């Protein structure tokens, strides 16, 4: 089955800096890669996703890149703000199956 590795587990940045979180996946058949932000006790909130036919996707301060050959994808947050502080999860999925999540990254943005 799919296995998703996520790094780093914690990340501290200053407000205005960029933050990068990286994930690798094991199953080359996976074709959908979302990123979620989760607040304590709440459901995961989708912030951006990418499909295997695309190499990069951007939405304002957030971008995701995908390297299918290397089987890794990354989340990039630019101009970080204190409200970006949260736990972020990457996930991967084969067609028709469940999302498999990485272990999460706790991002702290200090002002």
Binding site for other proteins (CB under 8 A): 32, 34, 41-44, 46, 49, 51, 89, 96-104
- 3 state SS of 83: helix
> CB of residue 101 vs other proteins: minimum separation in angstroms?
5
> CB of residue 51 vs other proteins: minimum separation in angstroms?
8
Give the whole-angstrom CA distance, residue 73 versus residue 95.
Answer: 18
Give the whole-angstrom CA distance, residue 91 versus residue 102.
Answer: 6
Tell me whether residue 27 or residue 49 sits nearer to other proteins (CB atom): 49
> CB of residue 58 vs other proteins: minimum separation in angstroms?
18
For residue 8, say if its preceding peptide bond is cis, omega within 30 degrees of 0: yes
Tell me whether residue 7 or residue 103 sits nearer to other proteins (CB atom): 103
Tell me whether residue 15 or residue 46 sits nearer to other proteins (CB atom): 46
Contact 50, 75 (CB under 8 A): no
């Amino acid at each position: 089955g799919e296995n998703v590795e996520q790094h780093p587990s914690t990340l501290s940045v200053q407000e205005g800096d960029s933050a990068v979180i990286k994930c690798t996946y094991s199953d080359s058949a996976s074709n959908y890669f979302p990123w979620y932000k989760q607040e304590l006790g709440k459901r995961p909130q989708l912030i951006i996703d990418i499909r295997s036919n695309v190499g990069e996707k951007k939405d304002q301060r957030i971008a995701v890149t995908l390297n299918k050959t290397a089987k890794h994808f990354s989340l990039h947050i630019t101009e970080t703000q204190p409200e970006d502080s949260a736990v972020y999860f990457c996930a991967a999925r084969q067609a028709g199956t469940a999302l498999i999540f990485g272990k999460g990254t706790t991002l702290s943005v200090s002002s």
